[in-house]
Amino acid sequence: MAAKTLPDPSLCVTATDFEKVAKDVLSEKSWVYVSSSAASGLSMKANIDDWSLINFRPRILRSVDKMDTRKSILGSTSQFPFFVSAMGTLGSSHPGAEPLLVRGATRKGLNTMISTASTKTLEEIMDAHIDEQRLLKNQSPSKLSFQLYVPVDRSKAKSLIQRVKKAGFQSLWVTVDTSTLGKRTADRYLQAQENLAGPKETVLKAGTGEVNSENSYAPAFGGRQVPGSVDAGLTWEDLDWISKEWNGPLVLKGIQSVEDVKMAVELGVQGILLSNHGGRQIHSAPSSLMTLLEIRTYYPEAFDKLEVFVDGGLRDGADVLKALCLGATAVGVGRPYYYALAAYGAEGVERCTDILAEEVEITMKMLGVSSLDQLRPEMINTSRLENEMWRPAFGRSKL
């Protein structure tokens, strides 16, 4: 099939513009994988819609001629208050897969989280980052973190953690919202069609919209869960041996309630990522923004005890600042980078970063702040989101 002529990357003016271009180049399997969510899609819809329920309260006549968008993330300075969220099987989007993603991100000084479910090995991905740093004379502040799916086999889990440590990843983000794979409806329909068509090889090739077999730790592709790849018996007690094995910055990925934030604080982890897995796990999950508001309302002390990250549904750089006003350290961006990589490779990753970075800076200036540490909760109006927020049953009469 002849290669399609794509519009020039400069014609992508917002982060959402990459989606249409990517749809034209992705295979059906890849499109279903990346665009789908759990059940009827309520969780993913909430992720996107809740950002619009918060408005800014700009301040005027403040000096904003010099801007600083840097942010400290787990002890290292990041060029931006956003990062690339973990995404599995990037080989389904582009033959360059994760190495190409990190090259583009490293050129821009952007932090990137690498998934256990990556197409390429973690060593190959880190080599791409190191090589790009060498070309940049080690001037990029970009860091790589690793998202861990804990397998059932403890020896296999420990071996993976040691590989991650040896490779030089900055931090370990333990996935805690995947005791089982969510019911991803679109994937289920596609599987049913494939089953009716007859037996088919499911270990597939990078760049064709299908999975490469280089990584034996990947828990799934689409709706297919690999037996033993995710431990449904994982508990809070397991964080002890994981922390000792890792001996570095540890973040819990997938927190969705303020009660679990308190547990995380008590156990002394360095950070939490508020996330519902891009709407791909539990049906009718709270958006990460809603959980962030819960913390701000019921447990604001958490922001002084650990770093709070947010991902899910972000499509505009202005929304990064909404999360930071509520106390978030930084915000993760997923699907826009998948689409940008699919359409344009590393150049797409760079273009998407430029778009979000410009939107962050434009909004900072109009909000009346010149550095991120000037952001405050009173700079946003959360009234509409508060109307839908969970409330404890204090004083409720017995029925």
Strand runs (DSSP E) across 82-181, as ranges? 82-84, 112-115, 144-148, 172-175
> Does 275 belong to an annotated binding site?
yes
HSE, CB side, 13 Å, CA atoms: give it for residue 112. Answer: 31
**Any binding-site annotation on 312?**
yes
109 among annotated binding-site residues: no
CA-closest candidate to residue 157, choices 166, 148, 165: 148
Considering the candidates 94, 129, 277, 283, report the single residue annotated as catalytic. 277
Residue 285 labelled as part of a binding site? no
Say whether 296 counts as a known binding-site residue: no
Rounded CA gap, 50 and 384, in Å?
A: 9
The answer to whether 139 is a known ligand-binding residue is no
Q: Are 109 and 78 in contact (CB under 8 A)?
A: yes
AA letter at 393:
A
147 is in an annotated binding site: yes
Is 87 known to sit in a ligand binding site? yes
3-class state of residue 171 by DSSP: coil
Q: Annotated binding residue at 313?
A: yes
212 in Cβ contact with 91 (< 8 Å): yes
Q: Please, what is the angle between helix 288-298 and helix 317-325, to 10°?
A: 20
CA dist 4 and 6 (Å) reads 6
* Catalytic site includes residue 277: yes
Tell me whether residue 193 is annotated as binding. Answer: no
Please give the helix or strand (H or E) that residue 138 lies within, else none: none
131 annotated binding-site participant: no
Binding-site sequence positions: 33, 86-88, 115, 147, 149, 175, 184, 253, 275, 277, 280, 311-315, 334-335
User: Which residues define the annotated binding site for FMN?
Assistant: 86-88, 115, 147, 175, 253, 275, 311-315, 334-335
User: Which are the catalytic amino acids?
Assistant: 277
